[in-house]
Structure 1
Amino acid sequence: MSARIAVIGCGQWGQNHVRTLSSLGALAAISDNDPVRAEHLSNQYGVPQLSLEALLASDQIDAATVALPPYLHGTVARQVLSSGKDVLIEKPIALDPLDAAETVELAKSSGQLLMVGHVLRFHPVYEALAQQVAEGRIGELRHIVATRLGLGRFLGMDAVWDLAPHDLSMVLDLAGSHTVTMKSMRSTILSNETDVADIRLTFDNGITAEIHVSRISPFRDRRLSVIGTEGMLTFDDLLPDGQKLAFYGHRVWAEGSQHAFHHADPVYLDVPPGLPLTREMEHFIHCVETRSMPRTGAEEAALVVALLSTASPRA
């Protein structure tokens, strides 16, 4: 039987869940506190609108996605898990490491699946970059740089919690090591919370990373770069298709007491098309149906929250 998935929280991003799951034939119900919005979506997609209590009690639902304000994620996700249903929680899964750890422990003890919505991990360009790194295209991975700059999104959480989770998830995946130390610098410039932050990570396997986030930048920048001993790769999400993934054959080597380098023009790599959210939901459906562990699972979700809390402690 195909997975039957409900959406809890049908705001701006939750509606993307509704539309995508419907297109995949997996949407079973919706739940939202706004009755007008809930009725509209129910009629539009031909699924019942249910209270949270009715959704949790239904034996016609196998799993749910949770796209609520982050301070509600843990409480609602634990209710879903306790009802015997799998859950995909939008990032971040909590605003406190203890809250995140409680959700992770319940998922383990209940035997239900917990997946976190780090949607960029399912971007076909990121997947291609990660495959190139794994296959040795850049030699030995040494350093990762993630940049996420723009103007706006003052949503009741600071720039670290809003902008850094996706980049942390990609960095953790690429580094392949979850023993990490962190340093961060953050500044309040135009609002009353962190507007700009620089995060530095050092992994126990020697890989280093830096993440730069800003919500007061006059320009947009969405790049992920990986630097290795035999070259470099860059995922630039603002470039057109066909140019988003570039390989640079740059090299640096020692010559006596000095260093020399070779500069190479970019080589753009072909990437199969695909929508990240569709691929993410397909993966969640596959995990629910086959009981496979999600690629963006519970342990990583808790680690991301712990790192966010270290980089930008909340009062």
Structure 2
Amino acid sequence: MKRNISVLGAGYWGKNLIRNFSELGALKYVFDYDPKITSEFSKKYDLEIQDLNQILKDEDIEGIVVATPAHSHYEICKLCLEHNKNIFVEKPITLNVEQAEELISISKDKRRILMVGHLLHYHNHFIKFKELISAKKESPLRIVSLRKSLGKIRDNENVLWSFAPHDISMINSIIPGEISNIKKLERSYFNNNQDSVFLSFQKGQNKIFVDIEVDWVEINKIQRISAYFSDEVIVFEDSEPDPGKKLYKLSIPFTKNQLMSKNNSDRSYIKVDQNNPLRSECKHFLDCITNESNPFTDGLEALEVLKYLILLDEA
């Protein structure tokens, strides 16, 4: 494969992107604003060391992967687009709507790809989860999305900005339309940022009930989205280590007079071909460059997520 990718940022998530693009045979450069980190990863993957200006001037580099802190996304992405590079930036696309709209406009004018890392859209279990929902003859009555773990408490962002883009992006793909009737409960245990947030709102033309809970101070890792119907609940349990048990149905009548509980033995597991979502996401970016096609999680999709993220944060 052509070595046409440079990854900017080699931190917590950037190192995973570096590994995947290297294993795909596409990685040419790694750059981090800490020279020691740049040197470390370049040596590890046997890459030539270049500064950012040299990378941007390299005509062989067709794609730049941006895995730097969120506050830097706008300036870095704008610089890369102005040098005619295709962009894959981690979520959130930017921190405000005007900046995101400008990046979308530049990418359109330059005819360059602007892809955002909403990872779960490339997860085969979530893809199947959406297919099961689409096959139903009714809309879901309720969607519940949980993303909780004992994580690193950050000073530069709250748990909503860190975790909820995934949940909002997934829910947007299931239920189109506006958000209304927002209710919010938040807790700050360790600093002035929100460490734990519960959101409840209605979405779309049918006013479907949606609950999102994100939490940095939960001792058990929970990553689950559930769709409630009148005759069953469809569950994508991403925190389940067994791939064969990540997607299942529960035959629980969700009606006023029939609501009842079921135990684990009543789960009907759905067989799904296992994949590596991050590898699929990276491969999708390369395919979009090769085919000059629009990514599934493009700038417009990310802009919609950003608008709702800001709306919910300010509620």
TM-score by length of 2: 0.90
- 1:259 to 2:260 alignment: no
1:93-121 alpha-carbon deviations (Å, 9 max, x no partner): 11222222222222222221111111122
Shift of 1:2: 4.3
1:3 Cα deviation (Å)? 6.8
The reply on whether 1:69 has 2:78 as its aligned counterpart is: no
Provide the C-alpha distance between the structure 2 equivalents of 1:113 and 1:178, rounded to a whole number of angstroms. Answer: 25
| Deviation of 1:123 (Å) | 1.7
Deviation at 1:274, TM superposition (A): 1.2
Q: Would you say the 8 A contact 2:153–2:195 is kept in 1?
A: no
| CA displacement at 1:147 relative to structure 2 | 0.6
**Which residue of 2 is the match for residue 7 of structure 1?**
7
Q: Are 1:249 and 2:251 counterparts? A: yes
Report the residue type matching 2:243 in the other structure.
D
Matched, 1:149 2:148: yes
Alignment partners' CA distance in 2, 1:242 and 1:113: 35
With over 3 angstroms needed to count, the CA separation of the structure-2 counterparts of 1:200 and 1:108, relative to structure 1, is farther
Q: Which residue of 1 aligns with 2:221?
A: 220
The residue type equivalent to 2:257 in the other structure is H
Deviation string 1:208-255 (CA, Å, 9 cap, x unpaired) is 3211111122433211101123422111122222111111122245xx
Deviations 1:129-164 (A, max 9, x none): 11222222x743232110112223212211111111
8 A contact 1:251–1:263 mirrored in 2: no
Correspondence list, 1:265-280, <5 A: 265-280=266-281
Instruction: Kindly provide the amino acid, as one letter, of the partner of residue 260 in structure 1.
Output: Q
CA distance in 2, matches of 1:81, 1:170: 27
Aligned AA (1:73): H
Aligned counterpart, 2:84: 84
Between the aligned partners of 2:181 and 2:166, the Cα distance in structure 1 is 17
Please provide the CA RMSD for this pair: 2.1
Q: 1:252 to 1:164 in 2, by over 3 A?
A: closer
Contact in 2 for aligned 1:3/1:288 (Cα 8 Å) = no
Match runs of 1:26-65 below 5 Å: 26-65=26-65
User: Where in structure 1 are there 5+ consecutive unaligned residues?
Assistant: none
- Aligned ranges for residues 1-315 of structure 1 at < 5 Å? 2=2, 4-136=4-136, 139-156=138-155, 157-175=157-175, 177-181=176-180, 183=182, 184-206=184-206, 207-239=208-240, 240-252=242-254, 259-261=257-259, 265-313=266-314
Q: What residue identity is the alignment partner of 1:285?
A: L
Matched letter for residue 259 of structure 1: N
Q: Which amino acid aligns with 1:284?
A: F
Structure 2: gaps spanning 5 or more residues:
none
SS in 1 for 2:173: helix
Q: Provide the rounded CA distance (Å) in 1 between the counterparts of 2:209 and 2:79.
A: 38
**Structure 1 segments of 4+ aligned residues over 6 angstroms from their partners:** none
Amino acid aligned to 2:174: L
Looking at structure 2, the residues matched to 93 and 66 of structure 1 have their Cα atoms a distance apart, in angstroms, of 10
Cα pair distance change 1:107/1:200, threshold 3 Å: farther
| Count of residues in Structure 1 that have an aligned counterpart in Structure 2 | 308
Return the TM-score normalized by structure 1. 0.90
**What SS does structure 2 have at the residue aligned with 1:260?**
coil
CA contact (8 A) 1:73 1:89 kept: yes
- Deviation of the 1:13 alpha carbon: 1.1
C-alpha contact (below 8 Å) 1:139/1:231 kept by paired residues: no
In structure 2, the residue corresponding to 1:251 is in which secondary structure?
Answer: coil
